[in-house]
Chains A and B, each alone.
Chain A
């Protein structure tokens, strides 16, 4: 100590003190500040996971197993990712009402906050497709809509109909109508392949193309006017033929009956 204090007036003493002070400040900052932030993130994340686990135990575990490992009633959820949870719970399909050919869309039961917590828990079980952000699926660019139409007709229209009206599959299963479905949920369905729908992962259908397909579906089911008049569900010749036979021919028959029912004779018989 004595040695040190003896050199306190050395010309370089100030520099040494300055360096020490800087190193201490920097070191302390490095030791505390980011750690606080990271801890806060981890804390929030683990809180969400804990909350999600609690919700899962109440609402989902009877079919999917207490740890999401699956059972005879429901598949394993390890590795399905947050996109699958957001789709299934966000469209009200899960929790399912009853077993059957297909679980239908219905009003959702959980709030978006709870869905995010469930998604956080399921994501913690294993990596999987991540729920998209709005900039990944929101586009009203006419270019995107046009390219999305081509992609939709190549990849989706065989089941969901050229206008996104849906259609029948085998043994009571069906491709649902895309009318009124959130852009995010359409995107997630392509990512994850819910129920019997095949998936279209980013490796075979890049994010940009998914965005274009969503843009097309939103446009064609919401905004697009129909120059021809009544769409009759855009189901094609079956409904159009039925309409023609029932209402077209029906009107003609009604007119014919009306004409015949009104005699021109001077004396009513």
Chain B
């Protein structure tokens, strides 16, 4: 660019303006350096060129926007193309992203170039001043406050003062009462799951979530992992997601001699243990089961439970063991539950018994 510009248009080099004036005081204010003009300030051709460049960027942005609309209309959403280094990607997504990106970038780039080359860049200092008000103003305000306090009788008429304080304290209560409208009370919903419908007289079968069939104990081999839900629940149910979030079971079979917790062994059936799949920390589904160590790991916060020891927490933030469901077999030999979990499933809550 510099060769376009004649030397005589350059300003005189400024000499003493930026130098320290008082050599005796090394901390003296050096003042502002002199303003230096830009090429576009002193060369009309350079200014014209910058103007064309800014306009060109805005025009490219316009073309890109038209390209965006055109790709939206023209490209088949199912079309897959190979683009290095992205691999096989959707042609439509790529075109939309590219054109929108160019359109937005060019507006920004044009604006920056405009500001840098053509808008005024003369420095304009704005001196700071003290924040504190003057003594005169302060005294006046204090005087007004005292007059107001005396005229209202706030300090003298104590009954008015006290009732005012009382009314102000009570007003927020209306907001607290309205919180009741947030929804029905949870009642016992946090304490119980869909398994509560199981009774010793009318047990609920455990349904394998892969085959959607009940299971027999001999189907589950030592070291296997199976996911189960209560009989009667289907994936098409309207409330399936709410219910499976509490009813989901993971069934593991551990060699009975490896089970360290006697109560857990009794709740199971011949080494088959049915644990809640919901982590007791914040309720993530937890089923990263290691069949040799019998550890189940929660992927969210790494809480680790020892399923061979009553799902004791051996690592991580979970506060309670995973609840275990008591299982047995019915007269057809299928695995069934005869009641709900003894402890509430999922994360802790206020009224949860220890």
A residues apposed to B, CB below 8 Å: 151, 154-155, 158-159, 167, 169-170, 173, 175, 193, 195-201, 203-206, 209, 225-231, 259, 264-267, 269
Contacts and interface: CB of A to CB of B under 8 A. Distances in A.
Contacts of B117: 264
Nearest to B38: A264
Interface string B12-46: 01000000000000000000000011111111000
B258 to A, nearest CB: 14
Contacts of A170: 290, 293, 295, 297, 302, 304, 315
Nearest to B316: A170
Contacts of B94: 229
B252 interface: yes
Contacts of B287: 158
A267 B224 contact: no
Given A167-B288, A199-B224, 8 more contacts: A158-B288, A198-B224, A201-B221, A203-B219, A204-B215, A204-B219, A266-B37, A269-B36
SS class, residues of chain A in contact with chain B: loop
Nearest to A269: B36
Contact of B218 (A173, A195, A203, A269): A203
B116 A225 contact: no
The 9 lowest CB-CB distance pairs between A and B, nearest first, are A198-B225, A225-B88, A227-B90, A203-B219, A196-B290, A198-B291, A229-B86, A264-B38, A225-B80
A38 to B, nearest CB: 32
Interface in B272-307: 285, 287-293, 295, 297, 299, 302, 304
Contact of B210 (A155, A199, A227, A267): A155
A204 B10 contact: no
Nearest to B284: A158
SS class, residues of chain B in contact with chain A: mixed
Nearest to A160: B288
B5 interface: yes
Contacts of A206: 211
B241 interface: no
A154 B39 contact: no
A158 B10 CA distance: 70
Contact of B299 (A167, A193, A199, A266): A167
A225 B82 CA distance: 9
B269 interface: no
A155 B291 CA distance: 14
B65 interface: no
Interface string B171-193: 00000000000000000000000
B93 interface: yes
